[in-house]
Amino acid sequence: MSGLNGPVAGVLGWPVTHSRSPLVHGHWLRRYGLRGAYVALPTRPESLETAFRGLQALGFVGGNVTIPHKEAALALADAATPRARRIGAANMLLVRDGGIEADNSDGFGFIENLRAAAPGWRADAGPALVLGAGGAARAVVASLLDAGCGELRLVNRTRARAEALAEALGGPIRVLDWGEAAAAAGGAATLVNCTSLGMAGAAPFDLPLDDAAPGALATDIVYAPLRTPFIVAAERRGLATVDGLGMLLHQARPGFAAWFGAEPEVDEALRAAALAA
Ligand code: NAP
């Protein structure tokens, strides 16, 4: 199927070559036999506003925004969903008659990945430990609280950043020092690495998980490599684990449904295609 006469969406980012979004949406367009196209739109920060407005002028139905534009895109949008405002960043845009609406599906992707990969997992099963307080952590923390997590232990190298996140989101968040991270794993039902530690090219992850309770679920949002040091440490401790690739794939579902009109499925073929990229 060609993109001609079909809806066109794209991803704004800089650099954008690393983005797997064109692969994911292209996979689904082919799989469901839909007309439409999804393209990479390399957008320097100084060109963001022009490119953003250009989406509407060029007849795009919407698109994604990735690093480094997630906060700026929210500020440029004519409207925003409550979850995008809460997270303070956009990863998804919808072009509507009245202008561009910003949304954020990162937290949705995080929760849906856990539900799909660990059936029976519940956010309210016990305390959650979240490592990291960057942009992605904000979406993860908001989604855990919205899903019913009753106690969230938040640990970040820079404590002030965790405190700012806790203040912005409110709710049952307890900020702890980075040095308390290993002990904070004790009794947690869900452990999440939202730092970039363990990512290819970043510093290694070396927090011990010896205090983690058997039966806890550990998930890393870093997906390159797929088996991160955090996942390996959790496996050694005997915990159930979920890798971060699924979050990336599931966060794309609401955009695809809105732009191309079909509810897409995250399946093994898509995972394999994303891994091979
Ligand atoms: P970010 O805003 O730059 O935040 C990075 C986080 O890592 C901060 O909490 C930072 O702590 C921490 N960190 C970095 N180096 C550290 C070190 N040496 N020791 C301890 N903590 C360290 O990045 P982000 O956008 O939140 O992304 C974080 C990771 O998530 C990236 O690897 C990204 O690829 C991944 N991600 C995955 C998905 C997905 O769909 N699976 C989605 C988004 C992001 P400080 O505050 O102290 O600097």
Residue 14 Cα to chain centre, angstroms: 17
* Nearest residue to 251 via CA among 110, 82, 86, 80: 110
Is there a single domain that holds both residue 238 and residue 256? Answer: no
Number of domains in the chain: 2
Domain extent, residue 199, equals 108-243
Q: Is 241 annotated as a binding residue?
A: no
51 Cβ closer than 6 Å to some ligand 1 atom: no
In this structure, what CATH number is given to the domain that contains residue 264? 3.40.50.10860
Q: Is residue 80 part of a domain?
A: yes
Q: Let me know whether 81 and 46 are in one domain.
A: yes
pLDDT of residue 214: 87
Cβ of 89 closer than 6 Å to ligand 1, yes or no, is: no
Tokens 């088996």 -> residue: 227
Q: Which of 129, 130, 159, 195, when mutated, tests ligand 1's pocket best, judged by the most ligand atoms within 8 Å of its CB? A: 195
Q: 114 with 225, same domain?
A: yes
Global model pTM greater than 0.85:
yes
Burial 186-221 (b: 16+ CB within 10 A, else e): eebbbbbbbbbbbbeeeeebebebeebeeebbbbbb
Render pLDDT for 35-82 as a digit per residue (tens, 0 to 9).
Answer: 999 999 999 999 999 999 999 999 999 999 999 999 999 999 999 999
pLDDT digits (tens, 9 = 90+) for 212-248: 988 999 999 999 999 999 999 999 999 999 999 999 9
Tell whether 147 is covered by a domain: yes
Q: How far apart are CA 189 and CA 217, in angstroms?
A: 6
In a domain? residue 213: yes
Q: How far apart are CA 153 and CA 173, in angstroms?
A: 6
Asked if residue 3 belongs to a domain, the reply is: no
